[in-house]
Structure 1
Amino acid sequence: MGGILRKFSDITAIIPAAGLGKRLRPHTFTLPKVLISVAGKPILGYILDFLNDIGIEKIVVIIGHLGEKVKEFVEKNYRFKTLFIEQKEFLGLGYAINLTRDYVKGKTLIILGDTLIEGDIVSHLEKGYNWIGIKEVEDPERFGIVIEGKDGWIEKLIEKPEKPVSNKAIVGIYYLNNSRLLFDSLKEIIEKGIRTKGEFQLTDALQILIEKGEKIKAVPIDKWYDCGKVETLLKTNRYLLDKKKSEIKKIPSVVINQPVYIGERTKISNCVIGPYVSIGNGVEIENVIIQDSIINDNSVIKNVILKNSVIGQNAVLIDKPQMINLGDNSEIKLEETD
């Protein structure tokens, strides 16, 4: 997420992590979206590592689908003062954040649990003003957008506009000095039934704050990776593997094309691995050529060629070795997935 060690113990982080992850099915039938691994670590793990590094001590995690697994992961790996709040109805991000109103006071940092963000976040937290992370995009109609005024202060926020007047998208990280003002705005949109696209939007509540005179700055973000579908998950995996540049010990009969991540207790033989492959713990791979893919824990893969693939935990994929008697000047083209 970027930044260096600082102490922000007076900030409470809110992490919405209740999404169903429909675009990542079948993986999210058995695993919450925020726990899907990229480059050897669950998405949520990168967010929590960042919060821990900057000294945030209290977090509120909004859970829903397979929430017990999220709770188990957080409690097993981190020592935050953590409160888990169950979201039973999916009525929008604003509705989800409002569920935390009785447990959050003062300064708050909201980070979406399925999004990885890098930028000068620490610096902006130190400066103390309200801010929202933004990035220019080619398809702003898919996102909440901001219209900036003088010196980067936001004049207007619009959720998923049909005819965008700005290409500066809200990326899923928000900082507010006074969370009570936010909760008052959220209460207002819920009581008045103010919905956009059928949902209570955080964007609409923040717009009310601006209309009441609260100043919120638009902060450009360097890197933004939404891990909500397979294509973006693999894109994030590529970026993180490039960034990590892990050293991999030589494995007999295996060609490693970096960057690659290989977990513990793996059995790999007669394979070409990489580039851009993440392999989880306890995986068994034999006679496989694989690139640009994520292989999750305890899966077994044999006798296949994989590209642009995500293989779930405990999955088994075994094909039969092919025997081909190919004469001189012959040509065979095996079908390839783009």
Structure 2
Amino acid sequence: MKAIVPVAGVGTRLRPQTHTVPKVLVPVAGKPILAHILDRLQPLGVDQVVLVVGYLGEKVVDYVRGRYRMRVHVVEQQERKGLGHAIHLTQDAVEAEEPVLIVLGDTIVEADLEPVVRGSRSAIGVRRVEDPRRFGIVEMEGDRVVRLVEKPDHPTSDLAVVGIYFLKNPGLLFRALDQVIREGRTVKGEFQLTDGLQLMVEAGEELTTFEVEAWHDCGSPDTLLETNRVLLEQSPQPDGRFSGSIIRPPVAISPGAQVRASIIGPYVSISAGARIEHSLISDSIISEGAQVEGVLLQHSLVGEHATVRGSETRLNIGDHSEIEIGHGSPHGAGKGW
């Protein structure tokens, strides 16, 4: 089975982490966001993935091809014209009458997908939310979708579309998106997938929904750290010993990381090649190759190959940065957000 995974987003709200790393490759709970998504798809029989790439797309493709035994189809979205446009671009890579999953590449969804992909109908993942105005929503009659609306001003449903879809016959969606784009139907200049799905409903296609158990946003520093906390609670804990260090679970520490004379945790993710010495770190994500020395670090993101030396602080620093924090100014240079 194929899965379409749009990964073209720039990740503006995650800067500076995304200046040199694609948003979907930013680490959380021990591995990149995209790895959490693909690891959930493989047990369903997904053996081919259609990546809709844009910003730093070659890094995403190299990552997937280097780590997964999946056939990778690459579609480039040169202009950011919305999710509907991104999916429309994949029609030459997807058989019109073969089932396909569509999974957004920047949101980690927890759901029992086995009965969904074995079911007889197309289905949309949903979750009840307090403020439906921020989301695409579905209206139901029984177990059938009768209407989809993108970010309604006056919502009549609290069932939000959360970014995972199963289509028995994707050709119907592609024809609907043809019409959406041909007629220039946009919301704030973007073609919406919900408009294509609504045209399918109007044409008589039976869509149902399935409830998503959890839905983890990775779009901003605060939500990324929250997702890190939630996923670490579910993760197996390292049993390795670290020289003169205390580990307070839950944490994720790569076997390729070095930790010396430090107190790590709770809620810390440390990637391969990182080196931590004489530091106390909690509620933070330390990326590949970063060096942290003599720091009391909390609620922080440290980018790839960045270096942090100094005192107590909260940081959001990008790749290859170097920060030395003077002991006289414990909340000084490099403060995050």
TM-score, length basis structure 1: 0.90
Measure the CA separation in 2 of the matches of 1:252 and 1:306: 19
Task: Report the counterpart of residue 27 of structure 1 in structure 2.
Answer: 17
| 1:285 has 2:276 as partner | yes
Task: Report the counterpart of residue 246 of structure 1 in structure 2.
Answer: 237
Larger mean CA deviation between 43-52 and 293-302 belongs to 43-52
8 Å CA contact 1:282–1:297 kept in 2: the answer is yes
Larger mean CA deviation between 52-61 and 11-20 belongs to 52-61
Of 15, 23, 41, 2:31 maps to 41
Larger mean CA deviation between 314-323 and 175-184 belongs to 314-323
Q: Which protein is bigger by CA-based radius of gyration?
A: 1
Shift of 1:269: 2.1
Larger mean CA deviation between 107-116 and 162-171 belongs to 162-171
Task: Report the counterpart of residue 198 of structure 1 in structure 2.
Answer: 189
- Pairing of 1:197-276 with structure 2 (within 5 A): 197-276=188-267
8 Å CA contact 2:248–2:266 kept in 1: the answer is yes
- Pairing of 1:45-56 with structure 2 (within 5 A): 45-56=35-46
Larger mean CA deviation between 173-182 and 224-233 belongs to 224-233
8 Å CA contact 2:300–2:336 kept in 1: the answer is no
Give the SS at the match of 2:165.
strand
Give the SS at the match of 1:268.
strand
The one-letter code sitting in structure 2 at the alignment partner of 1:228 is G
Larger mean CA deviation between 238-247 and 22-31 belongs to 238-247
Shift of 1:283: 1.1
Shift of 1:322: 7.8
Measure the CA separation in 2 of the matches of 1:58 and 1:269: 41
Q: Deviations over 1:169-198 (max 9, x none)?
A: 101000111111100000001000011222
Of 45, 66, 73, 2:63 maps to 73
Of 97, 114, 127, 1:122 maps to 114
TM-score, length basis structure 2: 0.90
Task: Report the counterpart of residue 50 of structure 2 in structure 1.
Answer: 60
8 Å CA contact 1:248–1:262 kept in 2: the answer is no
Measure the CA separation in 2 of the matches of 1:62 and 1:169: 23
Shift of 1:334: 8.0
Shift of 1:256: 1.0
**Backbone CA RMSD of aligned residues:** 2.0
Shift of 1:262: 0.8
Seen in structure 2, the aligned counterparts of structure 1 residues 249 and 57 have a Cα distance that, compared at 3 Å, is closer
Measure the CA separation in 2 of the matches of 1:193 and 1:322: 56
Measure the CA separation in 2 of the matches of 1:323 and 1:122: 54
The runs of 5 or more residues in structure 2 that have no matched partner are 312-324
The runs of 5 or more residues in structure 1 that have no matched partner are 1-10, 325-332
Of 89, 92, 95, 1:102 maps to 92
> How many percent of aligned residue pairs carry the same amino acid?
43
The structure 1 segments of at least 4 consecutive aligned residues displaced by more than 4 Å after TM superposition are 320-324, 333-338
Measure the CA separation in 2 of the matches of 1:323 and 1:156: 59
Give the SS at the match of 1:102.
helix
